[in-house]
Amino acid sequence: MRKPVIAANWKMNKKVDDAQAFLDQFIPLVWNEKEIDIVIAPPFTVLHTVANLLKITSVSLAAQNMYFEEKGAFTGEISPAMLTDIGCTHVILGHSERRAIFGESDELINRKIGAARNFGLEVIFCIGETLAEREAGKTFDVLKKQIQAGLKEIPHNGIIVAYEPVWAIGTGKTATTAEAQEAHEFVRARLADLYGKAADETRILYGGSVTPESIDTLMACPDVDGALVGGASLKADSFARIVKYNK
Ligand code: PGA
């Protein structure tokens, strides 16, 4: 049985007061949700505040990015050791915004994943095709390459994959359940190429305009094990409803 994961990616949103107000409202709403792993990924500047507020809860803390070195002359970067020190248990790596806006390559992402695992951080590893790639019939080639390069020489433990079609992120366009299931099934088969039977245990999340309205049908897909939620995770009531899908 794969335990579902519902993760919030706040991206570059929320200052200290906003994060505090969100959690004051959110925590009581999900206090009893023990069957689901809930993860929140705030921006770096509020990690400390959120870490303190999550201490007595079962909600996990994630960073949205990190560098692969442990310390040193890397101005502006944050290391995996710094993340575990502050209470992070997870890190999002390979997000399409990092790939597209900040030019992160599969090779860089692979090094980051290796470093994160060396420090015991669970990785939410994002993959997904652009609209042009989908329209050119290249979706599966892109996913296969991202998986093979990103997870090269990475053991299966502590890896959560997030399939996020780029054309669905922040656009209000969610993949249909058929599109999501087809992609997730393909991703699991490629994970099986790398990991054999252990691929059955790997959680594969869907991301891209997930809302309280779309979560129930997405979660009904056999290979969808959770969601990575951007816009709809910024409001406590909407994110709590997504956590409590089907209720
Ligand atoms: P969205 O973002 O839910 O706003 O589409 C998802 C993500 O980028 O992780």
Residue 233 CA, closest ligand 1 atom number:
3
Query: Does residue 173 have a pLDDT over 90?
Result: no
What's the pLDDT score for residue 172? Answer: 86
C-alpha–C-alpha distance, residues 208 and 61, integer Å: 21
The residue among 127, 147, 230, 128 whose CA lies nearest residue 194 is: 147
Q: What amino acid occupies position 112? A: K
> Ligand 1 centre and the CA of 40: distance in Å?
13
Residue 170 CA, closest ligand 1 atom number:
5
What's the pLDDT score for residue 174? Answer: 84
> Ligand 1 centre and the CA of 11: distance in Å?
9
Q: Whose Cα sits closest to atom 6 in ligand 1? A: 230
What's the pLDDT score for residue 31? Answer: 93
Q: What is the mean pLDDT of residues 52-76?
A: 97
Domain residue spans of the chain? 5-243
Residue 207 CA, closest ligand 1 atom number:
6
From the candidates 95, 97, 104, 122, give the one annotated as an active-site residue.
95
- 177's tokens: 């359940």
Q: Point out which residues pair with 161 in neighbouring strands.
A: 125, 204
104 in active site: no
Considering the domain 5-243, what is its CATH architecture? Answer: Alpha-Beta Barrel (3.20)
C-alpha–C-alpha distance, residues 64 and 124, integer Å: 9
| β-pairing verdict for 5-9 and 204-207 | unpaired
What's the pLDDT score for residue 246? Answer: 84
Q: Whose Cα sits closest to atom 3 in ligand 1? A: 230
Phi then psi for 57, rounded to 5 degrees? -115, 175
* Contact criterion met (CB below 8 Å) for 184 and 148: no
Q: What amino acid occupies position 84? A: T
What's the pLDDT score for residue 41? Answer: 98
Q: Whose Cα sits closest to atom 2 in ligand 1? A: 230
C-alpha–C-alpha distance, residues 49 and 60, integer Å: 13
Ligand 1 neighbours by CB, cut-off 6 Å:
9, 164, 169-170, 207-210, 228-232
The three-point CA angle 34-40-43 to 5° equals 170
From the candidates 97, 104, 129, 164, give the one annotated as an active-site residue.
164
Lowest model confidence (mean pLDDT) among 30-34, 44-48, 226-230: 30-34
pLDDT in tens, 2-27: 999 999 999 999 999 999 999 999 99
What's the pLDDT score for residue 107? Answer: 98
> Ligand 1 centre and the CA of 211: distance in Å?
10
Q: Whose Cα sits closest to atom 7 in ligand 1? A: 230
164 in active site: yes
C-alpha–C-alpha distance, residues 208 and 165, integer Å: 6
| Structure confidence at residue 1 as a pLDDT band (50, 70, 90) | confident
